[in-house]
Structure 1
C-alpha cells in the first residue's frame, strides 16, 4: 500500500496565493491528513456566488482558499481527531472572507449530530449581514434548501439540519446573554471590531464538552488598543499567533494564516502597487488592481493600511520608524565566548517582564561634531560625514541573553524568579568578559548588593531623565544610521515595537502605551542602557589614595 504524503507544514514560509484553481491531486492534502477535502467538495458542489455578475454560479475555489480550509481542518497525524481548536485567519478585505466563513459554517452544521454553529459579530447589524450571507447561500442551492428538497431549513434567525438536530445562528457582542451555549464551531467575523474580549472568552469556554471544538477568527487588521489602553482581542491573538509561528510558544492546538504587508521593508510606500499582493492572495485575480487603486485614493492612509494591506496602525507616537530596527539585523554575527561585553537588564517583580541584554562594544566612532573642521556643517551635513567616517568601523552588536515574561494564564501570586535572574547573570559573566552590568538599583537593590558583594562589575544606571534621555537619543541615532547591529531576536523586536516616546524633563524617553498595557518594553529599555554603556568609557573603580601624615 502506497504511503500517503505528509501534510504541508503548519506554518509555510511562503503562503499560497494567486488564481490557480483548487485541484486536490496537485496538493499534499488528502483525506488522511485533513477533513478539509470534504469541506472543499461541499463548497464547490453546493455553494453558489451570491453577489456580482457571476451570481448563481457554483463556487470554484482557488488553491490558496482550499489550502486555508484544509489547514483549518487539519488532522492530528495518525488520528481522525482534528489538530486545531483555535484558528486565526487574517486577510484584507475583498479576498473572499465571507465565502470562506459561509462554507465553514455550513460544513460545521454537517460536522456532528447536535452541532451548534455560531457566527459572531461586533454588533447586531453586522450579525444580520453575516446570517443573511449564509442564508442566501443555502437558499440558492437546491441540494441544501429544504424548500427545494434539500437538507437545511432556513428560519428568520436560524438554519437547522433536522436530521441531526444541528443548528446555525449569528450572534452579536452582548456576551452576557450568551452563557450556557455549547458551541461546536464558532466563526468570529472581523475579530478586530469586537469591543472587548468578553464574547471571545465566553465562546471559548463554552465548548469544553465538544470532542472537536473549533473557534475561527476571520478578520482584517485594525487598531492595536482599546479605549482603556488594553490590547484589542484581535491584536492579542495576532501577537500570540506570531509567537507560535516564530517558535517562542509551543501550542499544537492553535493554527494561523496571516497575510500581511511587510511595511518595514526598505523603500516601502503604501501606494506602491507592487507591495499590494503581499497581503492580498487574490490580487490580480478577482481582486482587481485598478479598482484597488481607486479605493486607495478614497481611503485615508490608516484605513487603507489596515483594511487593504493588513498593517497595524496605532494612534500613539511610535518611537522607531517602520523598518529601522529590521535594517540593522545581522543574524550571522555571534558574540564569541570570552569577548568583552556589557550586560544590562530591566524588569519588575510581578507584572512586567525582566530581560537581560548583552552588548558587544564596537570601535569608537571617529566623527567629532565639536571639532573645528566640523563647526560650519549643518545637521544634515554632519550626519552624512559621520556616516561616511563610521561606515567601516566595527559596530556594537546586541542580543538577548534571557527573558522572563508573565505567562498569559499566570496565577495571581506569580513573580519574577529573582534567583534565576541572578544565576543567569553569573552564567553570562562566566561566558564573556563582562565589562559592566548596568542595573537600576532602585528596582533590584537586593540583586545589586549581592552581585556587587561577589565581585561582579555592577554599575548604577538609574532610569531617571538625566540618564535615559541621552541614552535614548544615542540608541535612536545609532539605529537610524545603522551604527548598531543585532541578532534578529523576535522578542527584542517586539519590545522595541511596543515602545512609544513621550516628553520628559530634558527630552524624550520611551514608555509603554499606557500604564496597564500588557505590551512589554523591558528588553527595549535594557538595550538602550546596554548600548549607552558600551559606547561610553568603561567605569573604573576609584584608585585608593594614600596621604602623607605631614600633608594632613
Structure 2
C-alpha cells in the first residue's frame, strides 16, 4: 500500500496565491491529515455566491483558499484530533474573508452534536452583517435551508441544526453574556476592531469541555495600540503568531497565516502594483488590479497601506531595514568558552524586560564606511565591498545569554528574579573571560555594587544621547555593512524589530514606539552597548611611575 504524502508544513515560507482552482488531487492534503476536505466539499457543493454578477452560482474554491481551510482544520499526525485550538488569519480586504468565514461557520454547525458556533464582532451593526452573510448562504442553498427541505433552520438571530442540537449565533463586544457559553467554534471578524481583549479571552477560555475547540481570528491589519498605550488584541496576536512561526515560542495548538507586504524593502513604493500581490492572494483573480488602483485615488495612503496591503502604519521610523539583520546571521558560529567577551546588561524590575547579551570582539576591519572613496556607493555595493575587504577576518559576534520578560498572563505582583539575574551574570563570567559588564547604572545600583565588590568588571554606561547616539550609529553601520554576525536568536530579532528611532539634538537613538508600549527593546539596547564597548580598545592600566626625591 502506497504511503500518502506528508502534509504541507505548518508555516510555509511562500504562502499560496493566484487563480488556480482547487482539487484534492492537486494538493498534499487528504483525510488522514485534515478535516478540511469535508469542509471544502461542503462549500463547493452547497454554498453559493451571495453578491456580484455571479450571485447564485456555486463557489469554486481557489487552491490557496482550500489550502487555508485544510490548514485551519489540520489533524495531529496519526490521530483524528485537530491540531489547532486557535488560528489567526490576517489578509487584506476583498480577499473573500466573508465567504471563508461563512463556510467555516456552517461547517462548525455540522462538526459535532450540540455544537455552539459564534461569530464575534466589535459592535451590533457588524454582528448583523456577519449573521446576514451566513443566513444568505444558507437560504440560497436548497440542501441547507429547512424551508426548502434542507438541514438548517433559519431564525431572526440564530441558525439551528435540529438533528444534532447545534446552533450558530453572532455576538458583539457590546452585547454578550459571559454566562452559559460553551463554544465549539468561534470566528472573530475584523479582530483589529475589538475594543478590548475581553470577548477574545472569554471565547478562548469557554471551550474547556469541547473535544475539538477552535477560535479563528480573521482580520485585516489595524491599529497597533489602544488609547491607553497597550497593544490592541489584533497586534498582540500578530506578535505572538510571529513568535510561533519563528520558533521562538513552541505552541503546537496555535496556527496562523499572515498575508502582509514588506514595506521596508529597498525602493518600496506602495503605488507599485508589483508589491500589491504580496499581501493579496486574490490579486489578478477576483481582485481586479484596475479597481484596486482606483482605490488608491479615493482613500488616504495610511488607510490603503493598512487595509489593502496589510502594513502596520505608524508615524515613528523603524530603525533597521527589513532583512538587514537576517543577512548577518551565522547560526553555526558559537562563542567558545574562555574567550574574551563583553557583556551588555539592561535591567528592569517588573514592566519591561531584563536582558543579558554577549559580544565577542572581532579583528580590526579593513573597510572604513566613512572613507571619501566610498561616499557614492549604495548600500548593496558598500556591503559587497565590505565583505571582500573583510574576508578572512573574524567579525564581532553577538548572542543572547538570557532574557527575563514579564509573562503575558503574569500575576500583577510579578517582578524580575533579581537573584537569578545576578547568578546568570556570575555564570557568564565563569564561562568566558569577561572584559567588561556594560550596564546602565539606573535602578540596579545594588546589584552592580555587589558584583563589583566580588571583583567582576562592571562598567557603567549611562544611556545618555552622548553615548547612545554614536553607539547606535556604530551598530547600524555594522549591520548594514555586514561587519557583524549573530546567532539568529529570535528574541533579539524581535526586540530589534520593535526598535524605532527618533532624532535628538545629538542624533538618532532607539526608543520604544510609544512610552507605554509593551513591545520590548531591551535586548537591542544590550547588543548596542556591548558591541560599542567590544569595538573600543580597552583602556590600559596606568603604568606606575617613580620619581627621585631630588626631582620633586
TM-score, L = length of structure 1: 0.89
- 1:435 CA displacement: 2.6
Stretches of 4+ aligned residues off by more than 6 angstroms: 379-391, 549-552
Q: 1:411 to 1:309 in 2, by over 3 A?
A: same
Tell me the equivalent position of 2:399: 399
Could you say which residue in structure 1 is the equivalent of 2:64? 64
Counterpart residue number, 1:280: 280
Is it true that 1:326 corresponds to 2:298 in the alignment? no
Q: How many Å separate the matches in 2 of 1:2 and 1:484?
A: 49
Task: Write the distance in 2 (CA, Å) between the matches of 1:165 and 1:141.
Answer: 20
Equivalent residue, structure 2, for 1:231: 231
Matched-pair contact (CA < 8 Å) for 1:328–1:486: no
What is the CA-CA distance between 1:280 and the residue it aligns to? Answer: 1.6
Tell me, in whole angstroms, the C-alpha distance in 1 between the residues paired with 2:259 and 2:121: 21
Q: 1:383 & 1:186 partners in 2: Cα distance?
A: 50
Q: Which residue of 2 aligns with 1:452?
A: 452
User: 1: distance between equivalents of 2:382 and 2:27?
Assistant: 54
Q: CA deviation at 1:264?
A: 2.8
Distance 2:326 2:265 in 1: 8
CA offsets, 1:243-288, max 9 Å, x none?
1111111111111111222223333322222222222222222222
Measure, in 1, the Cα distance between the counterparts of 2:74 and 2:262: 28
Q: 229-238 or 496-505, which moves further after superposition?
A: 496-505
Report the equivalent of 2:264: 264
Q: Which moved more, 1:250-259 or 1:391-400?
A: 391-400
Residues 89 and 257 of structure 1 are in contact (CA less than 8 Å); yes or no, is this contact kept in structure 2?
A: yes
* 1:540, distance to aligned residue in structure 2 (A): 3.8
In the alignment, which residue of structure 2 is the partner of 1:158? 158
Give 1:230 deviation, angstroms. 0.7
Deviations 1:351-408 (A, max 9, x none): 3212222234342677597x9xx7xx9x967999999996734654433233222222
Which position in structure 1 is the counterpart of 2:195? 195
In the alignment, structure 1 segments of 5+ residues that lack a partner are none
* Contact 1:109–1:117 (CA under 8 A) maintained in structure 2: yes
Report the counterpart of residue 305 of structure 2 in structure 1.
Answer: 305
Q: CA deviation at 1:508?
A: 4.7
User: For the Cα contact (< 8 Å) 2:469–2:507, is it kept in 1?
Assistant: yes
Cα offset for 1:30? 1.8
Contact 1:192 1:234 in 2 (8 A): yes
Structure 2: stretches of 5+ with no match in the other structure: none
Residue 382 and residue 11 in structure 1: after superposition, are their counterparts in 2 closer, same or farther (change >3 A)? closer
User: After superposition, what is the alpha-carbon deviation per residue over 1:178-203, rounded to whole angstroms, capped at 9, x for unaligned?
Assistant: 44322111100111111221111121
Which residue is equivalent to 1:52?
52
CA distance in 2, matches of 1:130, 1:547: 90
The two structures have a TM-score, normalised by structure 2, of 0.89
Given that residues 87 and 215 in structure 1 are in contact (C-alpha distance below 8 angstroms), is that contact kept between their aligned partners in structure 2? yes
- The 2-side partners of 1:551 and 1:131 are apart by 98
| Structure 1 residue matching 2:317: 3-state secondary structure | coil
Once the two structures are superposed, what CA deviation does each residue of 1:303-355 show, in whole Å capped at 9, x if it has no partner?
2222122222223x224154274375243673542554322121212332122
CA-CA distance at 1:483 after TM superposition = 5.0
1:158-177 maps to which residues of 2 (within 5 A)? Answer: 158-174=158-174, 177=177
Q: Secondary structure at the match of 1:167?
A: strand
Q: Any idea what SS the aligned residue of 1:170 has?
A: strand
Look up the match of 1:36. Answer: 36
Q: 1:547 to 1:181 in 2, by over 3 A?
A: farther
Contact residue 500 and residue 510 of structure 1 kept, 8 A:
yes
Spell out the pairing of 1:413-452 with structure 2 (5 A cutoff). Answer: 413-452=413-452
